[in-house]
Amino acid sequence: MNLIHADAFDYKGLLADKSKTGGWLPAAFILGIEFCERLSTMGIAVNLVTYLSGKMHLSTSASANIVTDFMGTSFLLCLLGGFLADSFLGRFRTIAISAIIQTIGTGLLALSTRLPSLHPPPCDTTNADKCEPASSFQMGILYLSLYLIALGTGGLKSSVSSFGADQFDESDEKEKAKLAYFFNRFFFLISTGTLVAVTVLVYLQDEVSRSLAYGICSASMFIAISAFFLGIKRYRFKKNHGSPIAHILQVIVAATKKRTMNLPYNTSLLYQRFPDASRIHHTDQFRFLDKAAIIAESDQVKDGVLDCNPWNICSVTRVEEVKAMIRLLPIWATTILFWTTYAQMLTFSVEQAFTMKRSIGGFQIPAASLTVFFVLAVLITLAVYDRIVIPLWKKRKGKAGLSNLQRMGLGLLLSALGMAVAAIIELKRRSVARATSEMSVLPISVFLLIPQFLLVGAGEAFTYTGQLDFFITESPRGMKGLSTGLFLVTISLGFFISSFLVLIVQKVTLSFGGDGWIGDNINKGRLDCFYGLLSILSFINFGLYLVSARWYKRQMPAKPTLQVTCGKGSPEEEC
């Protein structure tokens, strides 16, 4: 048994000894920091809409959009985090720096909710006109703390899953089997963090002290950072492969320069200098890009030696890496809308719960804590899938569960059904509101919202794990950080699309008179129509996903290619 990992290094820079590095122990330190990140981010986001409307005196639609923009920016910054991890910092340092930034952000948010000067005074209940809105300075401090958290979250999420996957050797069958379980347990753990956030932290925010709850978020992240550094001697580190964005641009530029040239009759004549073990087989898709690997006379320096300027000529492997990323794009695009439906669980579903009867005996359930059913749906789905579906599927089909494409498709279908059910439930809630217009709390149980939470929650379990698996395992080796960032950007865009839809729908529906579909008072709006619109869009998107999944092709094994000698100064990994 080979105990040396040829593609990983220890903290001293030596080839990693698999008996002393990697495995579940260092993975546990990495999972711990992601648990605390999710605890902080969701503990803030899930109940932020009530703080913005109740304490900062913002409108319902403005509060919802601030939450979705905050979450959207958090995931959009994953692309920056992935770029920095792949190009400069490496995954370990990216995680460490990002965690520190997030700790500072949550600490500042706790301070802003504690100090009276950083939020407006309470409204005068006898005179609605005396409800003073938050000042520009107060909103500025709030935005600063939120976007420090967003910056930290972006760096963490872009690297945590990939760094965790680095602790398992895909070329070792035993460790590869553990890696398959890692993705499910990774998501199970962060869902547990969300569960604690929407129960314990939300209760503390509503019933004890919001600043105390945010302070706990900051303290837990500090503890997680300390534990993360304790595992440094056990981690496996991967070598940076340079900027993936630069590699993509080099292929495009080189192909554009040689756009008038004809491809050789034999693809083995294209430039290829990667070692056999790391080569990627030539494919016939996107043949225009193959021109980047044509060996032209202008590339010759002297005596047939090539000047391997990557902006003029790129290896077949580099070209195929770009092709592989392009092949991911249709799947990437058709999974965005899932996160638009997910955003409703953090915003309008909480607003719905706020208007409904939430008491059990003498205990009043915080409105945001209804998302516990959403998280429970995720945890139960993952547990059943991990312990029942995977073993049965492996026994009958010889495969470890559903493929990543099948999981994503199932998640998209469940979310579309969830929005359809949400529209029907909102019709019922709205009919009760119209019949009892004078009541602040409607005589209808908040538990009526459970089906929409369960369906979208189960959808998230399949979509998230499917995406995570797909974008990490299907991306080229040197672009895994960028690919992870690309996956997380789907979440970001889903939140931004939610904000965009809210603005457009409200503007259009207001033009017909009345309060519009999404007014400040949801009892007078038509949230059911908005949910119905999302359901229709989700079913259309599901159809497009099926077409994209059918089109997608996996990469084939490498074929022998022509050996070419490079000149002095060629990139080290190619020559």
**Band of residue 335 on the pLDDT scale cut at 50, 70, 90:** very high
Average pLDDT over residues 69-75: 83
In the 8-state DSSP scheme, what is residue 23?
A: S
**pLDDT at position 421, please?**
94
* Ordered domains of the chain (ranges, CATH): 1-240 (1.20.1250.20)
**pLDDT at position 268, please?**
81
* φ/ψ of residue 544, rounded to 5: -65, -35
User: Picking from 287-291, 336-340, 451-455, 569-573, which range would have the lowest pLDDT averaged per residue?
Assistant: 569-573
Average pLDDT over residues 64-74: 83
- pLDDT digits over 94-122, tens only? 999 999 999 999 999 889 888 888 878 88
DSSP of 96-110: HHHHHHHHHHHHHHH
Q: Is 5 within 8 Å of 176 (Cβ atoms)?
A: no
Closest to 523 measured CA to CA, from 515, 531, 532: 515
- pLDDT digits over 363-403, tens only? 777 777 777 888 888 888 888 887 888 788 777 776 767 88
* Structural tokens at position 47: 């109940």
* Structural tokens at position 506: 């409200």
Q: Is 92 within 8 Å of 235 (Cβ atoms)?
A: yes
* φ/ψ of residue 9, rounded to 5: -130, 160
User: Picking from 1-5, 10-14, 202-206, 243-247, which range would have the lowest pLDDT averaged per residue?
Assistant: 1-5
pTM over 0.85: no
